A and B are shown apart, each in its own frame.
Chain A
Amino acid sequence: DVKVTQSSRYLVKRTGEKVFLECVQDMDHENMFWYRQDPGLGLRLIYFSYDVKMKEKGDIPEGYSVSREKKERFSLILESASTNQTSMYLCASSPRGLRKSGNTIYFGEGSWLTVV
């Protein structure tokens, strides 16, 4: 079965802390994504990566960075956490060819981050 694993389900961090959210997929997918989900705002794309060491900004990249050193792992980094980054974060992956074939994307279970 397809598996996207997010390392932490629930985190509580203090304002100003550096936060790492880790995501691993076991499907050898080229594309990986980080979304955040907030009530009334739906899913918003933060960053995505279509290859190792490649990254592209999504709709709301401010305050975030990402790292993709290995194909299976995509990390989201909050350089200095703020309370407005309290949210649910969803990692996802898909095989290459999203543009051509409309491949499905597969989601992890989500990480609930609270910044206090």
Chain B
Amino acid sequence: SQQGEEDPQALSIQEGENATMNCSYKTSINNLQWYRQNSGRGLVHLILIRSNEREKHSGRLRVTLDTSKKSSSLLITASRAADTASYFCATDFWGAQKLVFGQGTRLTINP
């Protein structure tokens, strides 16, 4: 399967701490994206990183990409209770006109 895999499956931290989620994939990619899903809702795009980029920032989000290890990480700094959600990585493979999603990391921020 080309599906990405997130690690950990679930993460629970205290408000104010940093949260790190990892994503691994199997084949060469065009780009990698991270999405967020609040409970019972649709997914919302957070950030995209291209295969020739190594790091990208957006507000409290920091994404890294290591194509040699076929992995990416999403760091959320200074977490807030409102960050509680599931986070998915999605990869766009060369030659494919679709995204393939991982199974997600369920993040819980405790007040």
- Mark A residues whose CB is within 8 Å of B: 4, 31, 33, 35, 40-43, 45, 48, 50, 56, 58, 88, 90, 92, 98-100, 102, 104-110, 112
- Collect the chain B residues with CB atoms within 8 Å of residue A41's CB: 103
| Bound CA span A107–B97, Å | 16
In Å, the complex CA distance between A45 and B96 comes to 13
The 4 closest A-B pairs by CB, nearest first: A102-B31, A42-B103, A107-B42, A43-B101
- List residues of chain A with CB within 8 A of the CB of B48: 102, 104
The minimal Cβ–Cβ distance linking A92 to chain B, given in whole angstroms, is: 8
Interchain Cβ contacts within 8 Å, total number: 60
Tell me whether A33 and B41 are in contact in the complex, defined as CB-CB below 8 angstroms, given that A43-B88, A102-B48 are known contacts.
no
Residues of B contacting A48 with CB < 8 Å?
A: 97-98
Known: A42-B3, A102-B31, A102-B48. A109 touches B104 (CB 8 A): no
Query: B98 touching A98 by the CB < 8 A rule?
Result: yes
The CA of A4 and the CA of B43, in the complex, are separated in Å by 11
CB-defined contacts of B43 to chain A, threshold 8 Å: 43, 90, 92, 107
- Residue in A4, A56, A88, A98 whose beta carbon sits within 8 Å of that of B99 in the complex: A98
**Neighbouring B residues of A105 by C-beta, 8 Å:** 45, 99
Interface size on B, residues (CB 8 A): 25
Instruction: Please indicate the chain A residues that have their CB under 8 angstroms from the CB of B81 in the complex.
Output: none
A90 to B41, CA, bound (A): 9
Chain A residues with Cβ under 8 A from B40's Cβ?
88, 110, 112
- The interface bits of chain B over 9-48 (1 if a CB of A lies within 8 angstroms of the residue's CB, else 0) are 0000000000000000000001101000000111111001
Pick the contact of A102: B30, B100, B102 (CB < 8 A). Answer: B30
Question: Which B residues are in CB contact (< 8 Å) with A98?
Answer: 92, 97-99
Asked if B95 is at the interface (CB within 8 A of a chain A CB), the reply is yes
